[in-house]
């Protein structure tokens, strides 16, 4: 996951799966707030993909089960 960070404004974007989307967010931010210039301290933060936490497993199991049931119904 990738986020755009502007230290000058003390803002961090939402997370993006693709780095280019975080970069595009940064360009829009520069255009809107800095006249297109690159402020000192701006960066693209990259966070490693994480495994779901234990409390999220139940919801994931339900989603996977529904997908499998849907696929089984289509095949039969």
Structural domain total, the chain: 1
Q: For residue range 11-34, what is the model confidence (pLDDT) as tens digits?
A: 999 899 899 999 999 999 999 999
30 contact partners, CB below 8 Å, separation of at least 6: 36, 37, 38, 39, 42
Q: For residue range 31-45, what is the model confidence (pLDDT) as tens digits?
A: 999 999 988 989 999
When pLDDT is cut at 50, 70 and 90, the band that residue 51 belongs to is confident
Tracing tokens 């960070």 back to the chain, one arrives at 5
Domain extent, residue 9, equals: 2-75
Is the whole model's pTM more than 0.85, yes or no? no
If you average pLDDT over every residue of the chain, what do you get? 90
CA 43 to chain centroid, in Å, comes to 15
Edge-to-edge strand list for the sheet holding 43-46: 11-12, 2-6, 43-46
Asked if 8 and 41 touch (Cβ cutoff 8 Å), the reply is yes
CA 65 to chain centroid, in Å, comes to 25
pLDDT of residue 52: 75
């Amino acid at each position: 996951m990738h986020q755009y960070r502007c230290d000058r404004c003390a803002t961090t974007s939402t997370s993006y799966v693709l780095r280019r989307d975080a970069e595009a967010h940064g360009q829009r931010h520069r255009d809107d707030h800095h006249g297109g210039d690159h402020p000192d301290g701006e960066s693209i933060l990259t966070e490693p993909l994480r495994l779901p936490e234990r409390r999220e497993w139940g919801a994931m199991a339900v989603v996977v089960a529904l997908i499998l049931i849907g696929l089984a119904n289509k095949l039969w």
